[in-house]
A and B are shown apart, each in its own frame.
Chain A
Amino acid sequence: MDLADQTKTSGQPSIGHYLLGHLREFGLLFALIAIMIFFQIVTDGTLLRAVNLTNLFLQNSYIIIMALGMLIVIVAGHIDLSVGSVMGFIGALAAVMIVEWELAVLPAILLCLVAGALIGAWQGYWVAYWKIPSFIVTLAGMLVFRGMSLWLLEGQSVGPFPKSFQLLSTGFIPDIFGIDRPNGTALAAGVIAAMLIIWLGLRARARNKRYGIEGEPLPFFVARTGIVVCAVLFIFYKLAEFRGMPNVLITMAVLTVIYAFVTENTTLGRRVYALGGNEKAAKLSGIKTERLTFLAFVNMGLLAALAGLIFAARLNTATPKAGFGFELDVIAAVFIGGASMSGGVGKIVGAVVGAFIMGVLNNGMSIMGIGIDYQQVIKGLVLLAAVFFDVYNKSKG
């Protein structure tokens, strides 16, 4: 585009022009909403029932947690195919330590997280310092850790876990206001979250205005924020109607906020984007690219371990098949969320919304009684469509 053109349009953007320019970001949000409305109608309102909403969070928590780490790995220009196996292995390790060796729950959890970080360090070492393609290193890891969980469990399922361990997944935050139903804590949290979203939105707008960046047109901002705030309030109200906020929702939300902050506002995050955007230029700018790559994998291992613990707690048993194929859902979520295969592009919030899109599709289609065969086909096509949309957008603009 010609420079003169850009100056002209940056003054007073029309809504249509703005929408076109930011189709990807809003498209994702609208796609999620459209999918939810669709399933809400065809399932006769089952999708947004309190029980089902709670389930939706419980079912997708481990995918979302791993998507946070995967986004960073993919932004750094790599991929991790081993996360499903790692998560299964850590679940197995927890079961062996807690059920068979009768280790206390808290130290066992900590040991499992350390083990996950070490696995990440192992894979990161080969990728970062020996420049072995991450696809190969983690493909090897996928086989190795699948085999190791089979070996640990001797092919059997091990369980059940003690109550305190199950709280990781199935626990709920109690009502501190004593109303109990609807759950006061959940309501309060919903209101606070809504206010935070409005405040952050206003702050970003003020900043854009100060530096003359092309911001959203006002009606658009109001409409978008309105929809998001209503959705948040609605979800929290529904959760409050049932048993309140699940523990994993808090874990998930806190991690999402932390990772979004780290990727967007810290030097560490900025350097990861630079590394993925142009590794050579980043290195010549004094960025320790090897160390960053290494850390991205350590972080991925840690989050895969956490996901493994939550998954085992939810099933209340560790099985050799746990986590099988999950890496594909996680990677798909990140790409649906707008990350680029070549690195340097992608946002935490996008990955989380991408994971929810996959989750709602799974959940909705299961409620409708669609077979697993069709489910796979549809999910695959959604992934292709999302990435095609990206590529098409880019080639146009």
Chain B
Amino acid sequence: MQNSTQPLLEMRAITKTFPGVKALDEVNLSVRKGEIHALVGENGAGKSTLMKVLSGVYPAGTYEGEIHYDGALAEFASLSDSEDRGIVIIHQELALVPLMSIAENLFLGNEIAEGGVIQWQETFRRTEELLAKVGLREAPGTLIDKLGVGKQQLVEIAKALSKDVRLLILDEPTAALSESDSQALLDLILELKERGVTSIIISHKLNEVRRVADSVTVIRDGSTVSTMDAKTDEITEDRIVRDMVGRDMAHRYPDRERRAGPVLMEVKDWNVWHPEHADRQVIRDANITVRAGEVVGIAGLMGAGRTELAMSIFGRSYGRNITGTVEMNGRTVDTSTVSKAIEAGLAYVTEDRKSLGLILDETIQRNITLTNLPAVSTNGVIAENAETQVSESYRKAMNIRTPSVFQKVVNLSGGNQQKVVLSKWLFAEPEVLILDEPTRGIDVGAKFEIYGLINRLSADGKGVVMISSEMPELLGMCDRIYVMGEGHFVGELTAEEASQERIMSLIVND
């Protein structure tokens, strides 16, 4: 037992700053040999950043503090550096090449070859071995493309095993998995523990944490809040939640007078099929009602189809064979293209601001006016002065922290970029705004400002649809919450009825 209490990894007083944001502030993390250590915290608390520091994505020298690994000071210069020492990280976004086979992916960059010639027989044999270890029954030659997310996850773990992993880091491994796939994955992690693999598991699902973790570290706003040990402490979900949230819930969300007006938007019998796999239905019979001055939430797990639903409504930007109607103020409107949807009074603020929301190399001004150029031009000629006035007014109103609106948005912090995206859509003068993860990846201060803005919008009689993976945020902000299972609504709760438990049980019992 002596051996198992000795720490394999100790991260001491890790501090990491980005321009404008202190992502980590003297974080400590200690992981014993052979244990499963859960790292929990809200989105944006700094878990992923901490893991990037550990794995060398942010190389030694770009952060303060010390990492002790296997009894010695470790200064990883790159990801491959940490992999050589047996630290393997499996990201939320899987890093597999879709059009290559399982075998090719497993040994990518690490091919079994003699004199540069790949030894296929040996490769396939070892692939079969590894697949057996993770309990995946697929032929080594199967293309990754043909596997579901759950199986891809297993391939990632098999890949980690092929590298003689000692410390396995799993970032939200079950976020996109179905219940049974999740159970299988957790069983596998427990089995790996028996074989001496130490794991760090980052998860939002506290029941899973409780099931597998030997100890738990809670991070909030870039600092370590507490560490619990299953042997000495009683780990309860309540306790974890209290540490995660920290503050009094009431103060995290600005108050708002709730008064819903007449129905603004109604989506009826909405059905969407997958754009590539014609036989896969992504959205089934969805119905949404949004009233003036109302903030409506859509809760659900990753992969439930929330973004797909929003984008398919907004100019059919996702999916095909879309059926159903959209009504605005009681009249059916055409939303078949983005410009028609904007004209009908809709706006969609994407969850992926960098690749779908902004033109990073353009100025703040040019990004803001893009949705409604005719408003700052006559006969197609842009009046630059009017354009600057408009963007300046948004800079002030939204408190975008920048020396001038002529700065490129790529230079702004995440929170300020998000404010530019919101400005851009406010300038289109919509009646209903669909906000997809509006506070993802931005710091607490900017979050609060965005909540305030949402409240102002609803006070102005706009309808707001808020898609979020952060349940506390939905509970704190929304008048009504639709709960989405896989591709369809499994329930609708009013603000009074809603709680994390009720939402979760609706999803789980789908």
Contact = CB atoms under 8 A, between A and B. Distances in A.
Given A267-B380, A270-B382, A281 B404 contact: no
B445 to A, nearest CB: 15
Given A283-B338, A284-B350, A287-B370, A278 B359 contact: yes
Interface in B369-383: 370-371, 373-374, 377, 380-382
Contact of A3 (B20, B355, B361): B20
Most central of A212, A281, A344, A345 by chain B CB within 10 Å: A281
A213 B359 contact: no
Interface in A1-22: 1-3, 6-7, 10
B384 to A, nearest CB: 7
B399 interface: no
Contacts of B361: 277, 344-345
B378 to A, nearest CB: 10
B373 A270 contact: yes
Given A266-B381, A270-B370, A344-B361, A284 B317 contact: yes
A286 interface: yes
B402 interface: yes
Nearest to A277: B359
A273 B361 CA distance: 10
B350 A274 contact: no
Contacts of A243: none
Interface string A276-306: 0110111111111000000000000000000
A268 interface: yes
Interface string B346-377: 00101000011111111000100011011001
B384 A207 contact: yes
Contact of B404 (A212, A270, A283): A212
A281 B401 CA distance: 23
B120 interface: no
A270 B20 CA distance: 30
A281 B359 contact: yes
Interface string B295-320: 00000000000000000001101000
Contacts of A278: 355, 358-360
B382 A284 contact: no
24 contacts: A3-B19, A3-B402, A6-B411, A207-B384, A211-B392, A213-B404, A265-B381, A266-B381, A267-B380, A267-B381, A271-B373, A277-B359, A277-B360, A280-B355, A281-B357, A282-B370, A284-B338, A284-B350, A285-B338, A286-B337, A286-B338, A286-B339, A286-B341, A287-B370
Contacts, number: 99
Interface string B326-342: 00000000000111011
Interface in B384-443: 384-385, 388, 392, 401-404, 406-407, 411, 424, 428
Nearest to B342: A286
A2 B413 CA distance: 11
Interface in B261-305: none
Given A211-B404, A213-B406, A266-B381, 9 more contacts: A3-B401, A273-B359, A273-B362, A282-B359, A284-B338, A285-B424, A286-B342, A287-B370, A344-B362
B373 A280 contact: no
Contacts of B377: 266-267
Nearest to B389: A211
A274 B317 contact: no
Contacts of A212: 404
B380 A281 contact: no
A284 B404 contact: no
The 10 closest A-B pairs by CB, nearest first: A277-B359, A286-B339, A267-B373, A286-B338, A278-B359, A286-B342, A7-B403, A285-B370, A285-B371, A266-B380
Contact of B362 (A266, A268, A277): A277
Given A207-B385, A265-B381, A286-B342, A280 B356 contact: yes
Most central of B20, B315, B381 by chain A CB within 10 Å: B381
Contacts of A274: 359, 362, 366, 370
Contacts of A211: 388, 392, 404, 406
B320 to A, nearest CB: 15
A32 B103 CA distance: 55
A277 B355 CA distance: 10
B223 to A, nearest CB: 23
A285 to B, nearest CB: 5
Contacts of B407: 6
A72 to B, nearest CB: 16
Contact of A10 (B20, B341, B374, B403): B403
Contacts of B373: 267, 270-271
Contacts of B315: 284, 286
Nearest to B374: A267
Interface string A195-224: 000000000000100111100000000000
Contacts of A282: 359, 370
A119 B248 CA distance: 67
